[in-house]
Amino acid sequence: MFNKAIARMDVPKYLSSDNDPLFTYHRWLANLRILEIDELKTVPYTPISHPFVERLIGSLRRERSLEVTK
């Protein structure tokens, strides 16, 4: 999903995420490294301060769970 989204637009210099374990997944970190994207972590336990990140996390979790069940 991430690769498809990035393919449609310019590669960002920075990407904001929280401290969710999903963002320590080796493929996620490898993609960021390959694309030379710096990850910026948000303040823990304050989802109201980053609603777009929370929405992305929910989307990634749903996408990942669909791939696991295939």
Domains of the chain: 2-69 (3.30.420.10)
Q: For residue 16, what are the β-bridge partners?
A: 40
pLDDT at 63: 87
Between residues 41 and 37, the one the model is more confident about = 37
Count CB atoms within 10 A of the CB of residue 59.
13
Cα separation of 39 and 66, whole Å? 25
pLDDT exceeds 70 at position 5: no
What is the enclosing helix (H) or strand (E) of 7?
helix 2-7
**What mean pLDDT is predicted for residues 48-67?**
81
Cα separation of 45 and 48, whole Å? 9
Contact by Cβ (8 Å): 50, 42: yes
